Structures are given as C-alpha cells and as structure tokens.
A and B are shown apart, each in its own frame.
Chain A
Amino acid sequence: MNKNLSVIIKKELKRVFTDKRIVFTAFILPALSIALIYSIMGVALGNMIEDREEYIPKAYVRNMPQKFENLISNEPYNDMVDIEKISDDKELENIKEKIKLGEIDILVVFEKNFEEKLKNYENKEKPSIKTFYNSSEDYSSDARFGLFNQLFSRYENMVIGERLGNIEYTSAFNIDIGSEINDLVDEKEATGKGLSFLMPMLISIFLFAGAMGIGMDSIAGEKERGTMATLLVTPLKRETIAFGKIISLSIISIISALSSFIGIIVSFPFSKAVLGGDKDMNLTNLKFGASDLGKLFIIMITLVGIYVGLICLLSIIAKTVKEAGTYITPVYMIVMASSFMNMFSNSDPEMWQFLIPIYGSVVAIKNILMFQLTWTHVLISASVSVVSTIFLIYLIKKMFNNEKVMFG
C-alpha cells in the first residue's frame, strides 16, 4: 500500500480512537443503548405475553343455559373466567358501554329458551348466541377468540353428543397423538429464520449509522474547520486523501456495527422474543459454517462500500457539518426504508432483487441467515455493490479535484 495512504488511514483511526468523547458517543453509547432498549423491549414483551396468559377475563352472560353453566363452573374452566349472570335486558346497553371503555371484557347473550330450542332441533330452528367484545382490547379479544371459542365448541360437542347418544361420537379422529416428534424442523434453520426477521435491517442500519457521524465530521467538519485545506497544500494527491478517508471510514463503520452487535448479544437473554425467536431459541443452534460467514462478510463489506461512498460524497459537497447533515438525513431514510422493506417477505428471493443496490444486500443478508443464499446470489449482489461503490468513488475523486467544491 502507498505509504502516504497508510499514514492518512493511521491518523484518521488515531483521531477517532484516542478521542474519549468520540469513542463513547460512536461506539460505547450505541452498544449500551441497544443492549438496554432490546432488553427492556424483550422483558416488556415477555411480561405482556405472560400477563395475557394469566389474566382472568370478566364475562357477563344473559340467559345462561344450565349445561353451559355446568361446563363453565367446573374444572378446568372455573378458574379461567369470572362470570356474572344478568337478569334483566335493561342492563345490556350499560354493559356494552363498559366493553367499549375496556372495563368489561365480554358479553354473551343466549337466545331466550335456548335449551328448549336445542332440543327441538328437528324443526331446523337453530338458536343463536351473540357475543359483544372490543377488538382493540387485548384481554377482550383473547376472551372472545381464545377462551369462549373453546367453551362454545365444547358446549356444542356436548349438545351433539347428547343427540348422538354418546359424547365419544363427536370426535372422529386423533391428530398427532403419541411420542413421535411431529415437528421435523431443523433447529438451525428455525433459529436463522427467527433472526432473519429483524437482523438484516439492524445490520444495514448499524453499518450506515456507524459511518454517518464520524464521516460527516472527518470530511465536512475538516472543511469547515480549515484542517482539510492544510492537507491540500501538501504534495499529497487528492486521490490519496479521498481513499484515506474512505478506507478509514469503512473500518470505523464495521467496528461500530460490531460494537452494536455486542449490545444485541448482551441483550439476548432478554430480547429473544423481540428479535423474532421463541423463548427457547438458542444461538448455539445457529451453526454458521465458514462459507456462510464468508458470504456474510462479503455482502457486508461491499455494502459498507456503498454507505461510506454515499456519506463521503455528500460530506465533501457540503461546506459544514450541518449542511452535510441535511444532505445525509434523506439518504439515511432511504437506507432505512430499503432495510425495512424486506422484513415481512418470506418468499424465496428473485434474481432481480439482488440487482438493486442496498436493498439487494439486505435481501442477501436475510437469506444467509435462512441458509438459502447461493454463491451466485453473493456474486451478483457483491458485484452490484462494488460497481455502485466504484461509481461513488469516481464522483468523490471528481469532487476532491473540483476547486469550487474545495475552495468555493
């Protein structure tokens, strides 16, 4: 490597890593806040799920049939719901109002003479049940679609069993009974699939965010403070300065992304649910082979190229850090949007997706985690990134040689 280039890179890295303030704000703080935020989110989500599981809904019932009451007031349902019988239709409106407000979870109204009508089923007259609930309240929808669905189908089975003369006749076959393992999932792929939900987006955003602040400061900031001009009067070639900035910024971006990951890994015991895994997701299942890691590295490093290129280009055009910020913010939005866009797609990737810079790399990372990215995909995605980066570097070199940009 060119000696001047290595001198510049060393100085840029020294500048960043010997500055306690920068080290704290660019590496430690993001890692800490990520660890904290994901832990809190994970714990909160866990509590929420547990809370919903343990909650005993409050239900009001009008015209409750005796058999339904028997069902509900015996094991195992007697502990699962808090039932209040209503004796007057006038109360119904008041209760509906309270359901709206979220104070009561569910109201069940059986038709008058429900059981008699059940007995006269040969008349083809079906009695009906009406439920009132509030879908915007978790407890209410859980009561309606969890517990009461179950109660109604048990009740229906009891009724049909009576008609057939034997409760056994209401069930025709068994599903998945026995000691055999039915879910033939590959633990490795399941874990990968869980992670592939949020991880690619996080990788992409961490890489950009890591380079953003320091990049703006090391180029637009140096222009603003007059230290860039001092470098320009030396015999250095402009290309050397440009490459020095680009390479050191790439290194910084990767280190910063790594530190964000350490934050995620630290939060992992608490944040599995947030990160798309289930409670017993185990990272050790995720046995990445050398070739998977190689793929991930190639995709990430080429993605960093585009990000650093974009940040350098916009910082060099700007006269001040503030101006650079106004140029880079919209690009950051686009990066976030392209990272989010693929979050919910689960279908196999199509070739054309890899041809789109940034978006293609995020798709590629997702598919690496799902163990289904081929080397052809890697090659296409990496080439697209490299070509984009070369184009950006060409523009950056042009800007460094443009006196209007440097001394305008």
Chain B
Amino acid sequence: MIEVKSLRKVYKLSKKQMLKNNTVERKKVAVDNISFVTNKGEIFGLLGPNGAGKTTTLRCISTLIKPTQGEILVDGLNINKQAEEVRKKISFLTNELKLDTHFTPKYTMEYFGSFYGLSKREIEERTEYLFQEFGIDNFAYTKIEELSTGMKQKLSIAVSLIHDPELVIFDEPTNGLDIITARAVMNYLQKLREQGKSVIISTHIMSVASKLCDRIAILIDGKIRANGTVQEILYKTGADDLEDAFFKLYNNVSIGEKI
C-alpha cells in the first residue's frame, strides 16, 4: 500500500533550465500538494499531459528524489527515513532505465538480484520463472546488445521484478513499444494485479488508463483534478468518456489561470 500525503515538490532551476523553460522564476512547482492512496490488488493510474508532474511523483515514491513537503509511506515505511528498505519492497521502472548491453541477461539478473539479499538459488528460480514469462529463456546467454528493442524492454521489466516486489511502479509503461510488446507488458501488469500486488503507472494515453487502471488520478499542472474509478470520474465531470472528462478538467484549469 502506498500513501501519498500532501506531496509537494519544488525544483530549483539552474540558469540553463530557466532559459529552456522560458521563465524568470528560479523555482518550478512540479507537484503541488497532492494526496492519494493505492491498494493491493489494484492498478492505480496517474493520467496527465507532458509536464504534469507524473514522473516527479513516481520518483518521490521510489526515493530517488526527496519531497519538498509532505509524507509518503510505502507499506508503512517512510521514504525519507527508510529509503533502502523502501527500495527493497518496490520495483521502479521507466524507459530511461537501461541495462549494460555488454552483459548477458543471465548475468544481469544475478547482478541485480544480489543487491536484494537473495540467495543464488532464489535468484536462479526467479530468473527461470521471469525468463519463461517474458520469452527470454532462449536468449539467456546472448549479449544484450544483440537483443531486439522489445526483448531488451522485456528484460528490463524482468530485472526490475527479480525480487518479487509487492509494489510495482511503472512510469509510462507503453512508451516507445510496438503494439505487440505493449500488449504483453499490459497483460503482465494485469497478472501482477491478480497476484495481489499494488501497481502504479503513469500515462498520458487515455486508452491505456481506461483499459488498465482500476482507479485514476488526473494530474494537470502539478495538481490532482479528479480521482476515482473511470465511472466516478465520468459521473463527477458529466462527460461521456475519459478523454472528454480530461478536456473538461483541462479547460477548467486554463480558465482558472486566465482569471
């Protein structure tokens, strides 16, 4: 279970970033006072456009960056005080995380497995299971540089799941994947849900959110604008579908800014 309470993250901008963002502000409020809870056996989605603060939120939960304000508990562990313990329980995955292509999948699994305090045997069993699950077994001893992009991506997922984590955090799970690999990944996330894991994903794709997620938080400009099941969100916004609901919320924010 993940509890995010009044999370706020402010980035200090360097001169270069100020230029890039075309702003004179020295600070950027990326996430502004958001709260939500995710449960076991459910897929929770953060849905939002570019720059909404999705990655920032997920990085805070994964202890990679520190919240400016607020509190995050992962299975009751405080991410600030027990960062290493938290990282033992979770799996954090994004497209940006890459594996050294010089090694084989088998070695890579052993390498990362050893950081979770697993025994050789446990690593072996998990590797066998995950390789079978993702169809990597035939490539266990092939150098990663020789694998296809889809296979590399699947291996990254397998590596991140080596320790059979209770919580799986996945930033933009289908980004950059062809539809076959994307479908395989989505199926696996559903499987994790069935196993009673708690899954959080972020996405800017409406269909991914509506198909995959049990509950959704719509994040726009650092704030959660709606939170609930798809049905609840449609009901609250009086929209016909998720995209419609999103634009209603989005326009409200824009109007709010103009006033």
Contacts and interface: CB of A to CB of B under 8 A. Distances in A.
Interface of A: 3-4, 7, 11, 15, 18-19, 222, 225-227, 229-230, 232-237, 403-404, 406-408
Nearest to A408: B14
Given A235-B116, A404-B12, A15 B87 contact: no
Contacts of B65: 403, 407
9 contacts: A7-B115, A233-B64, A233-B91, A233-B92, A235-B85, A236-B115, A403-B64, A403-B65, A408-B14
A233 B114 contact: no
B102 A15 contact: yes
By secondary structure, the A interface counts as: helix
Nearest to A225: B98
Contacts of A403: 64-66
B25 interface: no
Interface in B37-76: 59, 62, 64-66
B59 A230 contact: no
B114 A4 contact: yes
Most chain B beta carbons < 10 A, residue from A7, A235, A403: A235
Contact of A233 (B62, B66, B85): B62
| In the A-B complex, the 8 residue pairs with the closest CB atoms | A226-B98, A403-B65, A235-B87, A234-B115, A230-B97, A235-B88, A233-B92, A235-B84
A234 B116 contact: yes
Most chain A beta carbons < 10 A, residue from B87, B116, B159, B160: B87
Interface string B112-123: 101110000000
Contacts of A222: 100
A403 B66 CA distance: 8
B100 A233 contact: no
B34 interface: no
Given A4-B114, A7-B114, A230 B62 contact: no
A158 B94 CA distance: 96
B235 interface: no
B2 to A, nearest CB: 16
Nearest to A15: B102
Contact of B97 (A4, A233, A408): A233
A245 to B, nearest CB: 14
B1 interface: no
Given A235-B116, A403-B65, A407-B65, A230 B87 contact: no
Contacts of B160: 233
Given A234-B116, A403-B66, A11 B111 contact: yes
A351 to B, nearest CB: 44
Contact of B59 (A226, A404, A407, A408): A407
B100 A227 contact: yes
Nearest to B62: A233
Given A232-B64, A235-B87, A237-B84, A15 B114 contact: no
Contacts of A408: 14
Nearest to B159: A230
Contacts of A232: 64
B96 interface: yes
A104 B137 CA distance: 81
A227 B92 CA distance: 14
Nearest to A229: B97
A62 B214 CA distance: 111
B99 interface: yes
Interface in B137-169: 156, 159-160
Nearest to A22: B102
Interface string B213-255: 0000000000000000000000000000000000000000000
A3 B115 CA distance: 9
Contacts of B64: 229, 232-233, 403, 406-407
Given A7-B115, A234-B87, A403-B66, 15 more contacts: A3-B114, A18-B102, A222-B100, A225-B100, A230-B99, A230-B112, A233-B64, A233-B87, A234-B115, A235-B84, A235-B87, A236-B84, A237-B84, A403-B64, A407-B65
A230 B102 contact: no
A7 B111 contact: yes
Nearest to B17: A408
A225 B152 CA distance: 14
Contacts of B112: 230, 234
B20 to A, nearest CB: 12
Contacts of A15: 100, 102-103
A20 B129 CA distance: 32
